[in-house]
Amino acid sequence: MNNHDILVIGIGNEYRGDDAAGLLAARKLRNYDLKGIEVIENNGDGAELINKWTGRKKVILIDAVQSGSKPGTIHEFSAPGSILPSELFKFSTHLFSVPQAIYLSASLGNLPQELTIYGIEASSFESGTKLSAEVEIAVNNIVHLVSKII
């Protein structure tokens, strides 16, 4: 696998509090020497995620989630493999969600060989541009972790 086969996607909305976690992680990752590995941002539009990861071998998604765990907790899922609880991820009437994108992509046969999802447990999705302290620490941790494994 060469570096062009790898894609990192940070997902979120920077104006909804901790939902920005994935986007900020992506921006911080770009400060590292990633040797040509592409890092992109996405608002959670599942159809676009499929279009972006089609043809890649290894994809890492970073998104905020809400499961009731302690804020800042990092959840790890892999696809195919883990069952993805759809209520953890972003919903919207005119998007479809990250889990749906993964299941749809699997059904269409264009899921990357290796897809890892890091979900950062959010504290608040209220309108605003500030991360909670716990999530800010988790973002730094995930950036460090991802920079090591890619």
Partner 1 sequence: MPKRLEKKVKQMKNKTIKVDYIARVEGEGALYLKIKNNEVADVRLEIFEPPRFFEAFLRGRPYSEAPDITARICGICPVAYQMSAVHAMENAFDVTIPQEIRELRRLLYCGEWIESHTLHLYMLHAPDFLGYDDVVQMAKDHPDIVKKALRLKKIGNDIMNLVGGREIHPINVKVGGFYKVPTRKELMKMHDDICWARDAAIETAKFAATLTFPEFFQDYECVSLVHPDEYPFNEGRIVSNKGIDISPEQYDFHFREEHVEHSHALHSRIRERGNYLVGPIARYNLNYDKLTPLCKEIAAETGLGKECYNPFKSIIVRGIETIYSCEEALRIIDNYRMPDKPAVDVEPSEATGYACTEAPRGMIYHRYRVNSEGLIEDAKIVPPTSQNQKTIENDLRNFVPTLINLPEKDLVWKCEQAIRNYDPCISCATHFLKLDIQRE
Enclosing H/E stretch for 14: none
Segment interacting with partner 1, rule: CB under 8 A, options 31-39, 70-78, 103-111, 136-144: 103-111
Q: Outline where DSSP puts E strands in 1-150.
A: 6-11, 38-42, 58-65, 74-79, 114-121
22-27 CB contacts, 8 Å cutoff, 24+ apart? 22/61, 22/62, 22/63, 22/64, 22/120, 24/131, 24/139, 25/62, 25/120, 25/139, 25/142, 25/143, 25/146, 26/62
| Candidate residues 3, 4, 108, 144; the one interacting with partner 1 per rule CB under 8 A | 108
Burial class (CB in 10 A: 0-12, 13-18, 19+), 22: buried
Q: How many residues bind partner 1, per CB under 8 A?
A: 38
CB 50 within 8 A of CB 108: yes
Q: Which is nearer to partner 1, 124 or 147 (CB)?
A: 124
Does the footprint of partner 1 cover residue 14 (CB under 8 A)?
A: yes
| Residue 144 Cβ vs partner 1, minimum distance, rounded to whole Å | 25
Q: Which is nearer to partner 1, 16 or 147 (CB)?
A: 16
Segment interacting with partner 1, rule: CB under 8 A, options 15-23, 28-36, 112-120, 139-147: 15-23
41-100 residues in contact with partner 1 (CB under 8 A) are 41-48, 50-51, 64, 66, 86-97, 100
Does the footprint of partner 1 cover residue 118 (CB under 8 A)?
A: no
Chain contacts with partner 1 (rule: CB under 8 A): 13-16, 19, 41-48, 50-51, 64, 66, 86-97, 100, 103-104, 107-108, 125, 127-129
